[in-house]
Amino acid sequence: MKKITASVLSTFILAMGILSGCGKTDQSVGSESNEDKSKVVTIEAQTAAPEITRVENLEKAAEKLNEELKQQGKDIRVKVKTNLFEGSWEEYAKQFMLAFKAKKEPDIYATGHENIGWLADGNYILPLDELKKSKEYSDVFSTLWDSVTYKGHIWGALQDTEARPVFYNKDVLRKLGWSEEQINNLPEKVKNGEFTLDDMTKLAEEAEAKGLVQFGIIHRPVDGSDFHVMVYNFGGKLYDPEENKIVLDKKAVEKQLNYYYEIAQKKLIPGNLTQMEWSSIHKAVVNGKALFYYGGIWNVFNWSQDNFHEKLGKVDEKWINEHFGMMLIPAAEKGGKPITLSHPFVYTVSSQTEHLELVKRLLELVANPALQAEHDVKTFHLPVTKSAAEHPDFKANETLGNVTYMLEYTTFLPNHEGFPKYSKAVFDAIQAVELGKKTPKEALKDLEVQLKNDLGDQLKIVE
C-alpha cells in the first residue's frame, strides 16, 4: 500500500514540475513592463465577429495614446486586450449582462446603437457627452448623433455606419432585355422615385414567371432592423421621443404586413424563408437564384470571406460589382422619397470601468480618419466623420463611393429599451403572414394584443 501511495505521490509531484515548467512563458510578459518602469493599464474591449478591426483599431489607437502619455511624462502605458465574440446578437447581449454582474465585463463594449436604451436604463454604461465636443468628433455627419442620443445624453462613441441597399442581379436584368445603361441607371430611377416598391414587385414577378430566377425577392431570415424600415417607408413612426414610448402605427404596420403578405402570396420569396440559415441566403443570392435581395453593404465583405459561390467559392468586390447593383429601397409611392436604414455601431463604456479618462481619450483617438478608412474599406462599412469620408483610402473604394449618397436617405431604429420586444413581435407577425397562417388584418390584431401585453405602458398606439 505504501509503495502505491509513494508512486502516486511522486507521479503527482513530477507532473506538477512539468506543468509549472510549461507555465514559465507567462511570467516573462510582466518583466517587459518593468524595464521602462511605467505602470501598465489594461483596457479590455470586446466586439462581435467578424469585424475584428473594430477592436484592432483600439489597439492602434492605444499606441498613439502611449506616445501622448510619454510626451506628457506620465508613467502610465495602456494595453488594449481584445476579445471577439462569436454567436448571436442575443447571446452577445446576454454575455455582457452576466459578465457585468460578475464584474468581468470589458471596459469598452462595441455594439449596435439600438442597445443603448437597455444599457443606459440598466446603468450598464456611462454617458459620453464630452465626446460630442471633442475635436476628433467635430465633423461627424450630424444626423448620426441622433442614433446615440437617449434621454438627452450621448451614450456611445460612433464607430461606423452602413447603408442597407437592395442588391439587384444585373445578369437577370440583362436576360430580361435591359440595356447596360438601363441597368446602371436603376439606382438613379429609384432615387428619383420613378421606380417604386410596386415596380420592384412586378419586376420580380416577371423574372420569376420567365424562369430566370427561383426567387424574385429575398430578405433576411431572422429578426432584425431591415423589416422596420418599411414602417418609415409607408409614412409611419416607431418611437415618440417626447413621451419616450414605442409607437405602434397601425396604418403603417398594416401596410408593412400587406407588403410581406403580397410577396409571399405571389411566391416571390422562398416558402420557408424565415426558417432558412444565413448561409443558404448568401448562397441563393451569390449564385443568382434571386433578383432582389434586401441586404447590407457589408455583405460584400461576407461574400469574400466564405465559399458561397458554387463554382468560384469566395467572390471579390470586382466580381460583385459586375454582377450586382445596389439601390435604395424604392419609395412606396410614385415620386416619393426612397429610403434605407442605418445601424451605426458604437463603442459604449462600462459604468464599472476604473480608467474612464484613458478610455475616453482612446475613443477620441480611434476616430482617426485613417483608422476609420481602414476598417471601412476592409469590412465595407461607411465612416462616421466627414474627414474619414475624404480620406484617400476610402475614396479609392468604388463600391463604398457608390453608396455613400445613401446616408442622405437614411433612418434609424429607436434606442428605447423595449424596442427588441417590439421587433420580435413584429417579426412574428411578418412570419405569420408570410407562412399564410394569418391575414395581415388578423396578424395586426394579434400584434396589438401581444405588444400591449409585452410593453404595457411603454406602448403608444396610433390608429
Partner 1 sequence: MGSVLKKWKLPAIMLGPFIVLIFLFFFLPVVLIAILAFTSMDSAMRWDFNGLANFQKLVTDPNILLIVKNTVIYVGFTLLINVFFGLVLGILTTYFIQKESVGLFFRTIWMLPRISPPVVYVLLWLWFFDPSEYGVLNSLRAIFHMPPKEWLTTHPMVAVILANGLIGASFGMIIFSSAIKSIPKDLFYAANVDGASQWSIIKDIIIPAMRWPLMFVTLWQFLSLLTSYEYILLLTNGGPLFESEVLALYSYHKAFRNFEFGYGSAISLVLVLIALIFSFIMWKLFGMKKMMGSSRIE
Tell me the site size for partner 1, rule CB under 8 A: 27
Residue 267 engages partner 1 in binding (rule: CB under 8 A): no
Q: What is the DSSP string of 98-150?
A: HHHHTT---SEEEEEGGGHHHHHHTT-B---THHHHSSTTTTB-TTHHHHHEE
Please tell me the distance from the alpha carbon of residue 156 to that of residue 146, in angstroms, as a whole number.
Answer: 11
For partner 1, the binding residue among 6, 9, 33, 101 (CB under 8 A) is 101
CB of 214 to partner 1, least distance (A): 13
- 8 A C-beta contact, residue 385 and residue 366: no
Return the H-helix or E-strand segment holding 375.
helix 369-379
Stretch that binds partner 1, among 75-83, 245-253, 312-320, 423-431 (CB under 8 A): 423-431
Residue 93 engages partner 1 in binding (rule: CB under 8 A): yes
For partner 1, the binding residue among 106, 369, 420, 440 (CB under 8 A) is 420
CB of 446 to partner 1, least distance (A): 6
Comparing CB distances to partner 1, the nearer of 360 and 421 is 421
Query: What backbone torsions phi and psi does residue 267 show, to the nearest 5 degrees?
Result: 55, 35
Stretch that binds partner 1, among 17-25, 106-114, 266-274, 350-358 (CB under 8 A): 266-274
Residue 450 engages partner 1 in binding (rule: CB under 8 A): yes
Between residue 110 and residue 129, which ones bind partner 1 under the rule CB under 8 A? 118, 121-123
- 8 A C-beta contact, residue 411 and residue 339: yes
Stretch that binds partner 1, among 140-148, 316-324, 325-333, 443-451 (CB under 8 A): 443-451
- Quick one: angle between helices 369-379 and 53-71, nearest 10? 170
Comparing CB distances to partner 1, the nearer of 81 and 250 is 250
Strand pairing partners for 249? 462
CB of 90 to partner 1, least distance (A): 6
Comparing CB distances to partner 1, the nearer of 57 and 274 is 274
For partner 1, the binding residue among 275, 279, 305, 307 (CB under 8 A) is 275
Rounded to 5°, the CA angle 14-20-25 comes to 145
Stretch that binds partner 1, among 15-23, 141-149, 153-161, 444-452 (CB under 8 A): 444-452
Residue 454 engages partner 1 in binding (rule: CB under 8 A): yes
Comparing CB distances to partner 1, the nearer of 163 and 284 is 284
Q: Kindly state the cell numbers that stand for 178.
A: 435591359
Comparing CB distances to partner 1, the nearer of 296 and 420 is 420
Residue 94 engages partner 1 in binding (rule: CB under 8 A): yes
CB of 272 to partner 1, least distance (A): 5
Stretch that binds partner 1, among 74-82, 94-102, 126-134, 185-193 (CB under 8 A): 94-102
Residue 139 engages partner 1 in binding (rule: CB under 8 A): no
What are the Cα distances from residue 1, in Å, to 4, 8, 9, 14, 176?
A: 5, 11, 12, 20, 88
- 8 A C-beta contact, residue 241 and residue 247: no
Alpha helical stretches, state H, 176-223: 180-191, 197-209
For partner 1, the binding residue among 111, 149, 274, 340 (CB under 8 A) is 274
Residue 155, helix vs strand vs coil: coil
CB of 331 to partner 1, least distance (A): 31
Q: What is the DSSP string of 412-455?
A: -----TTHHHHHHHHHHHHHHHHTTSS-HHHHHHHHHHHHHHHH
Query: What backbone torsions phi and psi does residue 297 show, to the nearest 5 degrees?
Result: -60, -30
Comparing CB distances to partner 1, the nearer of 63 and 310 is 310
Residue 435 engages partner 1 in binding (rule: CB under 8 A): yes
Name the region of 46 (left: φ>0; alpha: ψ -120 to 50; beta: rest). beta
Q: Kindly state the cell numbers that stand for 194.
A: 420613378
**Footprint of partner 1 (CB under 8 A):** 90, 93-94, 97, 101, 118, 121-123, 271-272, 274-275, 417, 420-421, 424, 428, 431-432, 435, 437, 446, 449-450, 453-454
